[in-house]
Amino acid sequence: MAAMAAAATLMSATSSILRRSALLRPHGLQVPRRFPRQRFVRHIASSTNEEAAAKAAAATADIGGPTIFDKIIAKEIPSSVVYEDEKVLAFRDINPQAPVHVIVIPKVRDGLTGLDKAEPRHAEILGQLLYTVKVVAEKEGVADGYRVVINNGAEGCQSVYHLHLHVLGGRQMKWPPG
């Protein structure tokens, strides 16, 4: 009789252990533990990405004020446009230093107050600006010889803080430049 009672107790205990491990753990214990963990990891990852993006945006924010070139782009003040496309504008300099003197600018400054603010993300627009210089030189009939100048910063004689390339031609250039 005692042996039968002991066997019944053992079977009940075994069944309880089996129920917990084989049935409850996968459906009852593991599910609620696994999902929150994954969500937590995803949350950490996404907030880290957001923070990194916010830091990158702050580091490259366009902190320069508006310039006269914004008004030229918006056609609020007139200019003699030599070339224009979606991203780039080229117009004659108001104070020409050579028979041909054209300014080439990005329509969206995107932090490029000067060349010193260039970031890897600007590589495409920088290439487009340079290519536009070549197009402008051909249009202006100076493709055989011209000079491209970027004045950067106060010591470089920059006066308008919106990146621009000067295309100068139509006369013999001298070297070194002043």
Please state, in angstroms and rounded to a whole number, the distance separating the CA atoms of residues 121 and 125: 9
Contact status: 115 vs ligand DGP (CB under 6 A): no
Report which residue type is found at 60: T
Contact status: 93 vs ligand DGP (CB under 6 A): yes
The only residue of 110, 115, 151, 171 in contact with ligand DGP, by rule CB under 6 A: 151
Least Cβ distance, residue 146 to ligand DGP (angstroms): 16
Whether 164 sits among the annotated catalytic residues: the reply is yes
The answer to whether residues 81 and 132 touch, using CB atoms and an 8 Å cutoff, is no
Q: Which segments of 12-164 are extended strands (E)?
A: 81-84, 88-92, 100-106, 146-149
Q: Which of these, 124, 127, 147, 150, lies nearest to 137 by C-alpha position?
A: 147
The only residue of 73, 82, 90, 91 in contact with ligand DGP, by rule CB under 6 A: 91
| C-alpha distances out from residue 6 to 15, 119, 148, 170, Å | 14, 79, 99, 111
The residue among 159 and 172 lying less far from ligand DGP, judged by its C-beta, is 159
Contact status: 68 vs ligand DGP (CB under 6 A): yes
Contacts of 140 (CB under 8 A, 6+ apart): 82, 100, 102, 167, 169, 170
Site size for ligand DGP (CB under 6 A): 15
The only residue of 126, 160, 170, 171 in contact with ligand DGP, by rule CB under 6 A: 160
The only residue of 79, 89, 105, 167 in contact with ligand DGP, by rule CB under 6 A: 79
Determine the longest span between alpha carbons in the chain, in angstroms.
Answer: 120
Contact status: 157 vs ligand DGP (CB under 6 A): yes
Give the active site residues.
164
Which parts of this chain interact with ligand DGP (CB under 6 A)?
68, 72, 77, 79, 91-95, 103, 151, 157-160
